[in-house]
């Protein structure tokens, strides 16, 4: 029926009751309306679609592993940690960005006067001997070396540099730091000297009464008011202490002037004649010679008995006449002390040894004048059997002394 599969039971029912057939035809002819969609269903579907779209977009825009590390709180934490590590490295390297053992040579920042030494600075303590042996200077110049901390002062033997000239100081790679590491590469420092300026004539001033000055006689002897400290290396200038003043005068009697005025109680000239050490007004001072600038203050000391030099190291001592203690004037470290009281002191030219005599005694068992030899390197004291009745004269090599004892010269 109507192309459907035969159903005998249904066909029998329709034949028996025609009304059922009519109702069946009515149902087939009727068309049902599509029911309206639920608004809640629409909202839920919209939310689901938006969530799915956002999830897909987030998956595509999500940064990679490195991008996550280098952004946000993680990157801030890593940056702070790196800063702390860098500060620790600088602290352990004593603030040296080149690291321990890496040497930086610092040239002068301005031209050098012809009567001033060439100063080459290092960023850490150096091995003095290896640095001096590795230096080459152009134009070729005979020089002397002096160290002030990490600064190397290069002074020509003639006393002056050539005017308006560029000097090149070359330091070979084998130069070593104090820790023993070589600098590893050649360092070249260029230094320019100032030109000699022709002074403009000064206006004539009204002459004032000349102050009384101490002069040198034709025999080249200093007047009785002063005591000589030593000569310049060229033998043309004499330095002396007179009335609390340190002064200089040329060998022909000209060019007299005060270098330190008033209150100087002790002074000593270095063996090369290029530096002066003095005690003035409770301060230890050093002055480069020939004097062209103000003295350098090494520090304050309440009182000193005397000053001197151990090669290029300034020293001073206290306690004389009594047990004498010796100190490094630059850093106040103790260098040694005499085990018995000392009256007169005679320091070797290089400052490595000392001959001293005991003060005048108060009994027959302590007659005084007993000589002792003190060695600073070993801090050993050696008493001698003879009695010294004169000053002690050291030979230039600091290995022998001569003195008068019992009417004869002893060596």
Q: What are the residue ranges of CATH 2.60.40.3710 in the chain?
A: 105-192
Phi, psi of 384 (to 5 degrees): -110, 155
Mean predicted confidence (pLDDT) in 374-385 = 87
Q: What is the DSSP string of 88-146?
A: HHHHHTTT-TT-TT---EE--SSPBPTTS-EEEEESS-B-HHHHHHTEEEES---EEEE
Q: Which CATH number fits domain 216-302: 3.30.420.40, 2.40.10.500, 2.40.50.100, 2.40.50.140?
A: 2.40.10.500
pLDDT score, position 200? 61
Beta-ladder partners of 410: 403
pLDDT of 331 higher than 80 = yes
Residue 147's pLDDT band, with cuts at 50, 70 and 90, is very high
For the beta carbon of residue 338, count every other beta carbon within 10 angstroms: 21
- At 97 the pLDDT is 44
Distance CA 174, CA 168 (A): 18
Which of 1-5, 44-48, 195-199, 311-315 is the least confident region?
A: 1-5
Q: Are 355 and 368 in contact (CB under 8 A)?
A: no
In sequence order, the 6+-apart residues with CB closer than 8 A to the CB of 324 are 305, 317, 318, 337, 338, 341, 342, 345, 356
Looking at the domain covering 105-192, what would its CATH class be? Answer: mainly beta
Q: 264-269 and 275-280 as β-strands: parallel, antiparallel, unpaired?
A: antiparallel
For 81, 86, 124, 200, the CA distances from 98, given in Å and listed in that order, are: 21, 13, 10, 48
- In the chain, list all ranges with CATH 2.40.10.500: 216-302
- The CB density around residue 392, as the number of other CB atoms within 10 Å, is 20
CA distances from 359 to 156, 190, 364 (A): 43, 55, 13
């Amino acid at each position: 029926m109507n192309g459907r599969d035969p159903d005998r039971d249904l066909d029998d029912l329709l034949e028996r009751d025609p009304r059922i057939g009519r109702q069946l035809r009515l149902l087939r002819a009727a068309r049902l309306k599509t029911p309206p969609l639920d608004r809640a269903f629409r909202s839920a579907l919209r939310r689901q679609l938006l969530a799915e779209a956002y999830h897909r977009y987030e998956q595509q825009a999500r940064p990679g592993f490195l991008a996550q590390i280098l952004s946000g709180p993680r990157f801030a934490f890593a940056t702070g940690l790196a800063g702390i590590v860098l500060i620790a490295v600088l602290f352990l390297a004593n603030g040296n960005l080149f690291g321990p053992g890496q040497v930086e040579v610092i040239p002068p920042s301005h031209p050098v006067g012809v009567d001033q030494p060439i100063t080459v600075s290092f960023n850490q303590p150096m091995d003095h001997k290896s640095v001096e042996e590795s230096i080459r200077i152009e134009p070729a110049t005979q020089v002397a070396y002096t160290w002030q901390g990490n600064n190397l002062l290069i002074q020509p033997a003639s006393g002056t540099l050539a005017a308006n000239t560029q000097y090149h100081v070359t330091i070979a790679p084998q130069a070593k730091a104090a820790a023993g590491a070589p600098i590893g590469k050649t360092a070249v420092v260029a230094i320019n000297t100032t030109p000699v300026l022709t002074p403009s004539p000064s206006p004539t001033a009204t002459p004032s009464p000349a102050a009384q000055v101490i002069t040198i006689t034709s025999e080249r002897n200093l007047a009785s008011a002063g005591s000589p400290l030593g000569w310049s290396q060229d033998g043309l200038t004499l330095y002396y202490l007179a009335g609390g003043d340190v002064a200089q005068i040329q060998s022909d009697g000209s060019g007299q002037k005060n270098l330190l005025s008033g209150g100087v109680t002790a002074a000593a000239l270095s063996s090369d004649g290029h530096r002066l050490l003095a005690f003035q007004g409770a301060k230890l001072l050093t002055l480069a010679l020939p004097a062209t600038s103000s003295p350098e203050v090494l520090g304050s000391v309440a009182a000193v008995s005397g000053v001197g030099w151990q090669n290029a190291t300034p020293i001073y001592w206290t306690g004389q006449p009594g047990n004498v203690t010796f100190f490094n004037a630059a850093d106040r470290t103790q260098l040694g002390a005499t085990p018995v009281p000392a009256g007169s002191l005679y320091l070797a030219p290089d400052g490595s040894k000392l001959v001293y005599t005991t003060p005048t005694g108060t009994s027959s068992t302590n007659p005084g004048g007993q000589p002792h030899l003190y060695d600073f390197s070993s801090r050993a004291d050696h008493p001698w059997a003879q009695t010294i009745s004169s000053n002690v004269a050291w030979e230039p090599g600091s290995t022998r002394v001569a003195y008068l004892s019992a009417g004869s010269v002893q060596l």
